[in-house]
Amino acid sequence: MKKTSIIPLLALALIAGGCSGYRPTPSAFHAALNQPYRLGAGDRVRITVFEQDSLTNTYSVDASGYIAFPLVGAVAARGRSVQELEGAIAAKLREGFLRDPDVSVEVDQYRPIFVMGEVGAAGQYSYVPGLTAQKAVATAGGFTPRANQGTVDITRDINGKVMTGRVITSDPLMPGDTVYVRERLF
């Protein structure tokens, strides 16, 4: 009786599996949803310095991750939560400008999301809290007839590392996410 080696069969299965392009969702992918929101380029924040009307205004986080704040100049915002940005601005204002500044920061407008692939109108769209992949696709004109409607690929920046994962369409999005709707095979 002739024995067949299983090794070539396993190699063939691994090669075929590698061609599918499927990437399991990294564990940090969903964990990021439960962390404090981190500011990034394209976000707009409303900064209030109580009893200092000339400093209270809306500021945008620029492409290099900074906001230009009166008196103190550039303040790093990328990667910081709103509470951390409040503390950084207050600390800079204490350095010879105000004795005991009371600073409040809130997100006025989140950075946009991008929807690509098999949708009616691919492009850049505004992010609103509670946005899911399915709602983003609806905003982008819905699925095309060729679209895989069960799952989408989402690319997300988590702590400076870009990750892509395949999720179901009811998964929540984060500001700056890119949603890619794949073409179905049948």
Dist. CA 173–CA 167, nearest whole Å: 10
104 neighbors 47 (Cβ within 8 angstroms): yes
CA atoms within 13 A on the CB side of 64: 6
* C-alpha to C-alpha distance for 177 and 115, rounded to whole angstroms: 9
pTM of the shown model? 0.80
Answer yes or no: do 128 and 162 share one domain: yes
Q: Are residues 55 and 116 in the same domain?
A: no
CB environment 26-62: b (16+ within 10 A), e (fewer): eeebeebeeeebbbbebbebebebeebeebeeebbbe
Specify whether 30 is located in the same domain as 88: no
Whichever domain contains 153, its CATH number is 3.10.560.10
The answer to whether the Cα torsion of 9, 10, 13, 19 is positive or negative is: negative
CB 112 within 8 A of CB 42: yes
pLDDT per residue of the chain (186 residues) written in tens, 0 to 9:
555 556 555 444 444 444 445 566 777 778 888 889 999 999 999 999 999 999 999 999 999 999 999 999 999 999 999 999 999 999 999 998 999 999 999 999 999 999 999 999 999 999 999 999 999 999 999 999 999 999 999 999 887 889 999 999 999 999 999 999 999 887
- Domain count of the fold of the chain: 2
Do 78 and 55 share a structural domain?
A: yes
What is the residue range of 96's domain?
44-109
